A and B are shown apart, each in its own frame.
Chain A
Amino acid sequence: MDDLLGMTRPGAGRDTAIDAAVLDQILNIGDIGLRDALLDQLLADFNRIADALSGGQGDRIGAAAHELKGLAATIGAHRLAQLARRLNALADCAVASDLAEFQAPVQGEIRVVLDSLAMHAGRVRS
């Protein structure tokens, strides 16, 4: 039901934010150097998108949500990808005040994904 409403589950944690099998497959596509660089870049990209969402107007939010849905889906952040899809669709037709209501759960889920990525980075680098 939570997914149907497009909201992050209150108890949703870092452990369920990213499908570990998908992320591992991506991180193991090259050598350790590439893995570390990719983890850094993912953190940078999600932070950049979060900034774009918080300060943007309709068009910019739409573009950020579009980028987010592809990136999130690629690393196995399925919940975030779904929220981004919803926000992307709304950005095409909703007014700014309505969008704000849907941005909050997306921003929240980005933070969860960032935490999860940071934890993953710490684990694989240790």
Chain B
Amino acid sequence: MQDQTPPSDTVLLVEDTPSLQMIYAAALDRAGYKAEVCGTAADGRAAFDRLRPSVVLLDLMLPDGTGLDVMRYMLSHAPQTCVIVITAHGSINKAVEMMRAGAHEFLVKPFDDQRLLAAIENARQSLRHRPSAPQSVADEPALAPFIGSSGTMQAVYDKIRSVARSMATVFITGESGTGKELAAEAVHRLSARAHGPFIALNCGAIPVDLLESEVFGHLRGSFTGAISDKMGAAAAADGGTLFLDEICEMDLNLQTKLLRFLQTSTITPVGATKPRKIDVRIVCATNRNPLDEVRAGNFREDLYYRLHVVPILMPPLRTRGEDVVEIAERLLADMAEEEGHAFTGLDDEVKALFRSLPWPGNVRQLINVLRNVVVLNDGPVVTRQMLPPELTAGSDAQGLPDPATAATAAAAAAPTLESALAGRTLAEVERLVIEEAMRRHEGSVPRAARELDVAASTIYRKLENWAKRDAG
């Protein structure tokens, strides 16, 4: 039961060790914060009910209960509360559990008063930028700019909305073309950092030698070709969000530097001697299975656990039910307007076909198909004859099944796809898709890259990696 009591400026501190209570309370007092101090879970709940503080500092372990239970109680009564979890070294897993349950941030003991005050100030800023009345989720079928109101996507929207309010690192996984960057942008847009920059960096598209400079920046003269100072992506994202796409492609040496950056919130540009403090939220993404990469030794385990705080899995288009038709119709209207063609929708046969296709390139592939249709045809309704032949190849002998046949084909296609992909990792599926695209284009990397809407360099790099792995 949520209540409407206005939040108080008093910071509630729930910590059971008396000397730590004194130290934290003194730091708050010196910074001008009014604080209420409690030593047990029961006292913490009672003080929360009485004061309705907007910011709570909460110890993970209390003599009469866990911090998790206390936080759940607080958030169930006042979801806007910013709970900052205090934890000891070695309890990171529990802190991660707290973040997933809605904590705003966590502080690992020992921390100095500056870190404590910065966390409180972040929390207060987050409250200031938060909408005063929570939007009704039920009224919003989709989280813009996403299209689609399937159950699987509703779960994704809910997760994005929940995680946006905290400082937690978000790890987005999903096949290529499922909207990982859109999800990252949505997390940023709904967060208290929305007024800050959103900087996206594709770790797989930048040569290894340049990646450190791209992330952390460099000073003039620090290496051959460094003709001027360059601000890296991390510094450019100061006060906002840094999105690291294709994180599993990052070189192991740079992973070490990224880990240090995450631990200290400081960066040292290439050629610089002094580190610089920055305030950045990290969102990262990969189309691989990150744990497979850890097991294969390609991704640091400690970095994985540092980044994998709140995972979001973007579902493939083939599992999103009616979304494929909804997306297609919306995109068709937009593209028709752009191209000046009078398209009004998809015929039933095309709808049934779209529902049945495996869409290995997901929404990105659907966009390409529709663009092709809109550019080459005048409308008014998309028919099967307008679709690129490679899309419908293999559907049936005549290539023109009636809607009922197409629906049957949909049912039949699913198990075929399932059997082809069953037991495969994301990385293996990605390799299948790329190799299949190259086969269709007679080995042409640029043409396969165009179809899959990725950079040719990405495919060349992947081919090189696969060749190395196959050889080794």
Q: Is B453 an interface residue (CB 8 A)?
A: no
Whether the Cβ atoms of A37 and B61 lie closer than 8 Å is: no
Chain A 53-89 per-residue mask, 1 if CB under 8 angstroms from chain B, else 0: 0000000000100110111011010000100010011
Whether the Cβ atoms of A85 and B90 lie closer than 8 Å is: yes
A108 CB to nearest B CB, Å = 21
Considering only CB atoms and an 8 Å cut-off, how many residues of chain B contact the other chain?
22
Partner of B89, one of A25, A42, A69: A69
A79 CB to nearest B CB, Å = 14
Q: Residues of B contacting A115 with CB < 8 Å?
A: none
B180 CB to nearest A CB, Å = 36
Within A15-44, which residues are at the interface with B (CB < 8 Å)? 22, 25-26, 29-30, 34, 37-38, 41-42, 44
Q: Is B212 an interface residue (CB 8 A)?
A: no
CA of A73 to CA of B63 in the docked complex: distance in angstroms?
A: 20
Whether the Cβ atoms of A71 and B22 lie closer than 8 Å is: no
Chain B 19-60 per-residue mask, 1 if CB under 8 angstroms from chain A, else 0: 110110011011000000000000000000000000000000
Whether the Cβ atoms of B19 and A45 lie closer than 8 Å is: yes
Q: Is B16 an interface residue (CB 8 A)?
A: yes
CA of A69 to CA of B110 in the docked complex: distance in angstroms?
A: 9
Q: Is B400 an interface residue (CB 8 A)?
A: no
Q: Residues of B contacting A22 with CB < 8 Å?
A: 110
Q: Is B91 an interface residue (CB 8 A)?
A: yes
CA of A70 to CA of B20 in the docked complex: distance in angstroms?
A: 9
Q: Residues of A contacting B20 with CB < 8 Å?
A: 70-71, 74
Whether the Cβ atoms of B19 and A41 lie closer than 8 Å is: yes
Whether the Cβ atoms of A29 and B30 lie closer than 8 Å is: yes
Whether the Cβ atoms of A37 and B22 lie closer than 8 Å is: yes
Whether the Cβ atoms of B23 and A29 lie closer than 8 Å is: yes
Q: Residues of A contacting B19 with CB < 8 Å?
A: 38, 41-42, 44-45, 71
Whether the Cβ atoms of A38 and B17 lie closer than 8 Å is: no
State the main secondary structure of chain A at its contact with B: helix
Whether the Cβ atoms of A29 and B90 lie closer than 8 Å is: no
Q: Is B430 an interface residue (CB 8 A)?
A: no
Whether the Cβ atoms of A74 and B22 lie closer than 8 Å is: no
Partner of A29, one of B17, B110, B113: B113
Whether the Cβ atoms of A30 and B109 lie closer than 8 Å is: no
Partner of A74, one of B26, B29, B109: B109
Whether the Cβ atoms of B61 and A38 lie closer than 8 Å is: no
Whether the Cβ atoms of B30 and A66 lie closer than 8 Å is: no
Partner of B17, one of A67, A76, A85: A67
Q: Is B112 an interface residue (CB 8 A)?
A: yes
Interface centre among B22, B89, B110, by most A CB within 10 Å? Answer: B110
- A45 touching B18 in the complex, CB below 8 Å, given contacts A69-B88, A69-B89: yes
Whether the Cβ atoms of B113 and A66 lie closer than 8 Å is: no
Closest to B16 in A: A67
A113 CB to nearest B CB, Å = 12
- A74 touching B90 in the complex, CB below 8 Å, given contacts A44-B18, A63-B61: no
CA of A41 to CA of B21 in the docked complex: distance in angstroms?
A: 10
Within B51-92, which residues are at the interface with A (CB < 8 Å)? 61, 63, 87-91
Q: Residues of A contacting B61 with CB < 8 Å?
A: 63, 66-67
Whether the Cβ atoms of A66 and B26 lie closer than 8 Å is: no
Partner of A34, one of B22, B63, B89, B110: B22
Whether the Cβ atoms of B27 and A66 lie closer than 8 Å is: no
Within A68-118, which residues are at the interface with B (CB < 8 Å)? 69-71, 73-74, 76, 81, 85, 88-89
Q: Residues of B contacting A30 with CB < 8 Å?
A: 26, 29-30
23 A-B pairs with CB atoms under 8 Å apart are A22-B110, A25-B112, A29-B26, A29-B113, A30-B30, A34-B22, A34-B26, A38-B22, A42-B19, A63-B63, A66-B61, A66-B88, A66-B91, A67-B17, A71-B17, A71-B19, A73-B88, A73-B109, A73-B110, A74-B109, A74-B110, A81-B89, A85-B90
The 8 closest A-B pairs by CB, nearest first: A70-B88, A70-B109, A73-B110, A74-B110, A41-B19, A29-B26, A30-B26, A42-B19
User: Which residues in A have some Cβ–Cβ distance to B below 8 Å?
Assistant: 22, 25-26, 29-30, 34, 37-38, 41-42, 44-45, 63, 66-67, 69-71, 73-74, 76, 81, 85, 88-89
